[in-house]
Amino acid sequence: MKIKKIEFFKAHIPLKKTFATSLGKRDTTTSIFVRVTNQKGLCGWGECSPFPPIVGETPETCFIVGKMLAEKLLNEDPREVGHVSKLMDRIIFGHTGIKSAIDIACHDLWAKSCDEPLYLTMGGRIEKTIRTDFTISLDSVETMTNDALEKVQEGFKTLKIKLGDDASKDIKRIKSIRQAVGNSIDLRVDANQGWTQKEAIRCLNEMASLNIQYCEEPINKRRYYQLKKVINNSPVKIMADESLMDHVDARKLVKGGYCDYFNIKLGKSSGLYKARKILKVAERYGILCQIGGFVESRLLFTANTHLAHLSDLVRFYDLDSPLFHQFDPIVGGMEYQKNWDIRIPDQPGLGLEVSADFLKECESLTVE
Please report which helix (H) or strand (E) contains residue 367, including its range.
Answer: strand 363-367
Report how far residue 1's alpha carbon sits from residue 167's, in angstroms, rounded to the nearest whole number: 54
Residue 37 three-state SS: strand
Give the β-pairing of 335-336 and 342-343.
Answer: antiparallel
Q: Extract the runs of DSSP E, i.e. beta strands, from 185-319.
A: 186-190, 212-216, 238-240, 261-265, 289-292, 314-317
Q: Name the strand (E) or helix (H) holding 67.
A: helix 59-73
Count of residues in the chain: 368
- Cα 366 to its chain centre, rounded Å, is 26
Taking the C-alpha atoms of residue 203 and residue 317, their distance in angstroms, rounded to an integer, is 24
Indicate the burial class of 131 (C-beta count within 10 angstroms; 0-12, 13-18, 19 or more).
middle
Count CB neighbours of 93 within 10 A. 7
Long-range contacts, stretch 145-149, CB < 8 angstroms, 24+ apart:
145/173, 145/176, 145/177, 145/180, 148/177, 148/180, 148/181, 149/180, 149/181
Distance CA 195, CA 168 (A): 11
Residues known to be catalytic: 162, 190, 216, 241, 265
